[in-house]
């Protein structure tokens, strides 16, 4: 997956950018917190659960992702931008 110039120069991958890119790459699927932690870990990023929850909350507040509770689990999915004019 490509990284931004800023990440390249800093030498680290921003987890929030990775999460948005990951969810955008599969927009028809929603993932639990545990599934996202496992995906990050498989890419060499170890985040504590509460850190990931903070990131997801921030992304949701900014309108990048959305969450819903299904089967007693919270799922996160990429929020597709709405196109059109008012």
Distance CA 12, CA 37 (A): 17
Asked whether 49 and 33 are in contact (CB, 8 A), the reply is yes
The total of structural domains in the chain comes to 1
Q: Is residue 31 part of a domain?
A: yes
pLDDT of the residue at 62: 95
Q: Does 6 or 42 have the greater pLDDT score?
A: 42
Q: Is residue 42 part of a domain?
A: yes
Q: Is residue 37 part of a domain?
A: yes
Is the pLDDT at 44 greater than 90? The verdict is no
Dihedral sign (CA 59, 65, 68, 70):
negative
Domain housing 24: 5-78
CATH code at position 54: 1.10.10.10
Q: Is residue 85 part of a domain?
A: no
pLDDT of the residue at 12: 65
């Amino acid at each position: 997956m490509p990284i931004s110039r800023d990440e390249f120069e800093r030498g680290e991958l921003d987890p929030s950018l990775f999460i948005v890119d990951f969810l955008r790459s599969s927009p028809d699927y929603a993932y639990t917190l545990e599934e996202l932690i496992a995906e990050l870990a498989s890419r060499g990023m170890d985040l504590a659960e509460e850190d990931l929850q903070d990131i997801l909350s921030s992304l949701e507040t900014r309108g990048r992702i959305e969450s819903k509770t299904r089967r007693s689990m919270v799922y996160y999915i990429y929020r597709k931008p709405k196109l059109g004019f008012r």
